[in-house]
Amino acid sequence: MDVQLPQIPGGTVAAYVLVLCRIGPLFLLAPVFSSRMIPGRARLIAAAAITVALAPLALKGHTVSTEPVDLVFLIVKEIGVGLAFAFVIAAIGTAAQAGAALMDTLFGFSYAALIDPITNIQNAPIGQLYSLFTAMVFVTTGGDQMMIMGLSRSYEIVPIDHFPALNALAGAATVGIGKIFLIGLMLAAPVVIALLVTDAAFALVAKAVPQMNVFQIGIPAKILLGFGVISTSLPFIAVHVRDDLSGAVFAALSILGGG
């Protein structure tokens, strides 16, 4: 008895490929999903699983052309939409690293760069702390689910067989870069302000008591004060990062919709 495999229409296969093209950038740029701690094969399997889950939603009420030229344009469009969505969200993780890099410079830790297990690139100690902390916040607050839900919502804004406005995709880069500087500065602000006040205080002491070796006393004092401010501000940073992630998902969807 011969067993025949079911015939899968070419349009369905093309649709799954298109959905995978939109999901793929999430595993290249987005926090947690792009972590180098996750093996590449595991990320590929996760992307395929999400593709299988989202493909029926993406195909609902739409048909995909199997013409080679049309398919190439659709693939490029799906990659662009995925990159625009993932880039806005990736700005949060990059902003946390940028803010931490500023603190490492103020502490003098920037010379002690080690391999960051999250990004697999060289990062200073506080940068690694904030990188791991941001990943923990994303996982514990359901950030991964929020990103997948946002990606599924993108098919209502930009259907699989439609093209978004080019200025919408370009706007994602502008918004993402703006978020890097703004969020990074807000995360580093408590420590930066505390260290600036400390430097001003030691400057006054050095002026009033020239005999005191302020430089020798100031460095360990600044480090202790900085770690104290960091430990105090981490709970507030967790809430801030969670809210920023939610805002980034909505901002990405709004950009794709031309808003």
In a domain, 47, yes or no: yes
- Domains contained in the chain, number: 1
In a domain, 94, yes or no: yes
In a domain, 84, yes or no: yes
In a domain, 1, yes or no: no
**Tens digits of per-residue pLDDT, 83-137?**
888 888 888 888 888 888 888 777 777 666 666 666 666 677 787 788 888 888 8
In a domain, 2, yes or no: no
Q: ∠ CA(161), CA(165), CA(74), 5° rounding?
A: 30
In a domain, 24, yes or no: yes
**Tens digits of per-residue pLDDT, 162-179?**
877 777 677 677 777 777
129 is in which domain, residue-wise?
10-256
pLDDT of residue 4: 45
Euclidean distance between the first and the last CA atom of the chain, given in angstroms as a whole number: 59
On the question of pLDDT at 5 being above 50, the answer is no
In a domain, 154, yes or no: yes
Q: Where does the pLDDT of residue 10 fall: very low under 50, low under 70, confident under 90, or very high at 90 and above?
A: low
Measured CA to CA, the distance from residue 3 to residue 94 in angstroms comes to 52
8 Å CB contact between 204 and 172: no
**Tens digits of per-residue pLDDT, 205-255?**
777 777 667 667 777 778 788 888 888 888 888 888 888 888 888 888 887
8 Å CB contact between 136 and 39: no
On the question of pLDDT at 8 being above 60, the answer is no
Q: Where does the pLDDT of residue 7 fall: very low under 50, low under 70, confident under 90, or very high at 90 and above?
A: very low
**Using the 8-state DSSP alphabet, how is residue 204 labeled?**
H
In a domain, 118, yes or no: yes
Measured CA to CA, the distance from residue 130 to residue 114 in angstroms comes to 14
**Tens digits of per-residue pLDDT, 47-83?**
889 988 888 888 887 777 778 888 888 888 888 888 8
Mean pLDDT of 185-203: 83
